[in-house]
Amino acid sequence: MRSPRGEEAGGLTGCAGMVRQRPCPSRSSPRNSRPPSPVSVPAGPGSPDRGTDAGMAMVFAAMIRPATLLTILLLPAAAGAQEVLRTDRTGPGHLRPPFRAYEPPPPGHEPRLRRTESRAVYRLPQGLDGFATLDQTLSHLCQRGAFLQKIDGLYWAATPDYRYGVAFSGGANLIDPQNRRQSGKVYFFRDQDSRCRVWIGDQAKLMPHYIGG
């Protein structure tokens, strides 16, 4: 027959051999009370391991604040909004803002075109004979768009056979990027395209036939 001390000693010895099975009851707690079991969450096949890099990355992603995510999502929208600058009207209301970005006109309002009217500047009853000489070099430049009128026929000379466009060496109605103009000259143009021909006349000699007003 075992004594209580022997049973108690045997129980302690038995508990020593069952360390990994379940915890032993404390001496101060009743024998019929159940000891608290450690809380453990079994790791399933799809759950990450906190010790691995993938597990740490998922934990870090879960800790990002919602405000940070919202800021990241709004960055492209903010960048697009900065492309078009808008300036509100300053106060008082009659003052214009210091800077206004270009805004297209509202639909239905076409841009106003510059209105030009042609004007006769010379009347030559006998044509260009004796007043102007055909220049082959300027004619080739005109055919290539390097010496021509700003507006074809803005100024013109009336002759019996044709209406010639006119430009002046001072720069009136003349496009001359190569600076081929000569002082005191008048240029007569015919067919301002690939068939363009240019005549040169002396402005002083043509003055008696000037009707430009």
Which pLDDT score, from 0 to 100, does residue 17 have?
46
Question: Taking a C-beta distance cutoff of 8 angstroms, is the pair 206, 131 a contact?
Answer: yes
Q: What is the 3-state secondary structure (H, E, C) of 129-174?
A: CCCEEEEHHHHHHHHCCCCEECCCCCEEEECCCCEEEEEECCCCCE
Q: Give this prediction's pTM.
A: 0.47
Q: Please name the helix (run of DSSP H) or strand (run of DSSP E) that holds residue 68, with its range, or none.
A: helix 66-81
**Average pLDDT over the chain, rounded to an integer:** 73
Compute CA distances 159 → 162, 186, 204, whole Å: 5, 15, 19
Estimate to the nearest angstrom the gap between the alpha carbon of 124 and the chain centroid. Answer: 55
| End-to-end alpha carbon distance in the chain | 148
**pLDDT digits 0-9 by tens, 112-137:** 555 567 899 999 999 999 999 999 99
